[in-house]
Amino acid sequence: MFGLGPMELIIVLAIVLLIFGSKRIGSLGADLGRAIKGFRRAVKTDKNDDNDEGDSRSERIIDGEAKDADPDTSNKSDKS
């Protein structure tokens, strides 16, 4: 693992423990866990939003109205 043996990892962890202290390391772990959980939730929500947008686009195509959602991009040739 990155060229670090078990002895080097123990030394690094001991130094981190001395610098931050046991209470601080516990709170850092909890904060990291919350951050990862929030990130996963945001990614999952973003994927669901992408799926919802795709569904509405496919519904417009099924209805026979393949219109763009952005009115600025539609009918550009009419303005010339």
Q: What is the pTM of this model?
A: 0.44
- Return the sign of the alpha-carbon dihedral for residues 52, 58, 67, 63: negative
Q: Look at residue 15 and tell me whether its pLDDT is greater than 60.
A: yes
CA 79 → CA 49, 70, 76, distances in Å? 33, 16, 6
Please, which pLDDT band fits residue 46 given cuts at 50, 70 and 90? confident
The proportion of the chain whose per-residue pLDDT surpasses 90, expressed as a percent, equals 26
